Amino acid sequence: MHHKLIESEITELVVCGMMTHIYIDTTVRAAKDYGYQITLISDGCATKDLEWNGVTLPATLIQNVYMASLNKKFANVILSSEIV
């Protein structure tokens, strides 16, 4: 896909999708490594509860942690209502 984006002179990406803790995180970080400017639509992403060491971590917690960690350093994280 990177080659197609280069051919089309695309330098900015708007990202949303499922399984934030896997696919969104990986996509945003890789796109940043390739030099893209990324807008991440936080309410356009979703994840699920995760289990670790006998504790259930709710999806809202997982979602918020990933959005906070990606914001500013890797992407401009916004709400869908902020898209101009």
- Share the mean pLDDT of the chain: 97
Q: Which domains does the chain have, with CATH numbers?
A: 2-82 (3.40.50.850)
- Tens of pLDDT, residue by residue over 26-62, are 999 999 999 999 999 999 999 999 999 999 999 999 9
| pLDDT for res 1 | 87
pTM: 0.92
CB neighbour list of residue 79: distance below 8 Å, 6 or more residues apart: 41, 42, 43
- Which helix or strand (DSSP H or E) is residue 32 part of? helix 25-33
CA distances from 5 to 2, 32, 74 (A): 5, 14, 19
Tokens of 16: 């949303």
